[in-house]
Amino acid sequence: MAANLALFYVAVQKDTIMTGDWIELARHLGEAIPAGIGIALTGIINAQFSPEAKFRIVFMRWHNSLPGCEAFTRHAKADPRVNIASIERVCGSLPTDPQQQNALWYRLYKSVESEPAVVQIHRAFLFARDYTCLALLMTVVLGVAGLLQIPSKRIALIFVAVLLLQFLFAGQAARNNGKRFVTTVLAIKGAGKLGGSNE
């Protein structure tokens, strides 16, 4: 968030920075205050989003937005680490309904949640998920502020494009980590740690 605010200020004061007029730059430091307040508000607004709302933003779908909703019909099939046959031997026929897939996957997850690989990818997923939501809010807040305050329209549009790219890349990272989180659990379960599948 601080880096985004710094980038905004550099874009607004580009001409002053290029001339090296540091006194003038310090004099206009207050121009960054509204954007700074906006950045602070993005953190507060982000905290109001429910986990379900964040999943919807990341996976860009309204229904069945949790990554576990496609655990067996999509993600498991795409990851060569997952031994589906081994899981089926213990769990029986695997569900195709999104809600049932997520429910079964969650039961499997709870039995291996303390595994280091699961803990690591879970943290990475949650970080990327929250960063994606913050990036979306910053695209709106700083994007509007940039269009209003940056003197050069060309620089303003480039700034907005950078914010948008940040959101898109963060979202892609979150989706990748979400899928990896799902398949890491399944890979561990398929490798033999199946005792807790019905817990």
Contacts of 85 (CB under 8 A, 6+ apart): none
Confirm whether 121 is domain-assigned. Answer: yes
Confirm whether 197 is domain-assigned. Answer: no
User: Distance between CA atoms of 83 and 100, rounded to whole angstroms?
Assistant: 19
Confirm whether 127 is domain-assigned. Answer: yes
pLDDT of residue 187: 94
Provide the 10 A C-beta neighbour count for residue 10: 14
| Among 76, 55, 51, CA closest to 64 | 55
Instruction: Please state the rounded mean pLDDT for residues 63-92.
Output: 91
Confirm whether 199 is domain-assigned. Answer: no
Confirm whether 142 is domain-assigned. Answer: yes
9 or 152, which is more confident? 152
Query: With bands split at pLDDT 50, 70 and 90, how would you rate the model's confidence at 7?
Result: low
Please give the mean pLDDT across all residues of the chain.
82
pLDDT digits (tens, 9 = 90+) for 154-179: 888 998 999 999 999 999 999 999 99
62 or 194, which is more confident? 62
Confirm whether 35 is domain-assigned. Answer: yes
User: Distance between CA atoms of 126 and 178, rounded to whole angstroms?
Assistant: 8
pLDDT digits (tens, 9 = 90+) for 45-64: 777 788 899 999 999 888 99
Range of the structural domain that residue 16 is part of: 2-190
Confirm whether 198 is domain-assigned. Answer: no
Show the tokens assigned to 127. Answer: 């970080």
Whether the predicted model's global pTM rises above the 0.95 cut: no
pLDDT digits (tens, 9 = 90+) for 15-47: 554 555 545 545 555 555 555 556 666 777 777
pLDDT digits (tens, 9 = 90+) for 89-126: 888 899 999 999 999 999 999 999 999 999 999 999 99
Please state, in angstroms and as integers, the Cα–Cα distance from residue 15 to each residue in 8, 19, 28, 29, 157, following that order: 13, 6, 12, 14, 16
Show the tokens assigned to 100. Answer: 């049932």
Please state, in angstroms and as integers, the Cα–Cα distance from residue 152 to each residue in 33, 66, 130, 137, 147, following that order: 20, 42, 31, 23, 9
Number of domains in the chain: 1
Sign of CA dihedral 70, 74, 76, 79: negative
pLDDT of residue 199: 38
pLDDT of residue 22: 46
Phi-psi group of 60: left, alpha or beta (phi > 0 → left; psi -120 to 50 → alpha; rest → beta) = left
